[in-house]
Amino acid sequence: MSDLRSRVSYLQGLMSGLEITNESKEGRVLNGIIDVLGDFVQTVEELEREQDSLEDYLESIDEDLYSLENDFYGDENDYYNDMDKNYGGEYGEIECPECSNIICVDPDVIAGDEAVELECPNCRETIIIDSRTGENDIENKDTETKH
């Protein structure tokens, strides 16, 4: 902003150096324009100071909000992070024989010793996973028959 102030000061000096006075019509117009430019510079400088102040205030509010979120949600986020660590983020994938939708399941479900029934979230068909036989069957709820 000092650049604008220095440019207005340069124009004021130039007007004085050229000996343009307020006695002529052109002199009054030029002097008025330079005065208005000076007012603009002052207003812009005030706005910049206020902007900086608001920016600092907003930053402090943001930091306070971050602290509150950590205090309020911190335990909840820790719970989910612990769940991810315990689970390891690994999963098995089963393809629905009816709609070809990929279903993500716990690897223990696939590797278990018992037959497990899952419902496809896409087509709502029942999928029977039997790790002993290595087969996946689908049960149609409408006809109650196995494919």
CB 139, CB 115: distance < 8 Å: no
Phi, psi of 89 (to 5 degrees): 75, 10
**138: how many CB neighbours lie within 10 A of its CB?**
17
Element (H, E) at 118: strand 116-119
Identify the top-confidence range among 63-72, 126-135, 136-145. Answer: 63-72
- Better-predicted residue by pLDDT, 131 or 138: 131
Same domain, 30 and 81: yes
Same domain, 137 and 108: yes
Q: How many domains does the chain have?
A: 2
Element (H, E) at 58: helix 25-87
pLDDT digits (tens, 9 = 90+) for 57-109: 999 999 999 999 888 887 665 655 655 555 556 777 888 888 988 888 887 77
Same domain, 7 and 79: yes
pLDDT at 43 over 90: yes
Can you give the pLDDT at residue 10? Answer: 92
Domain that includes residue 111, residue range = 92-146
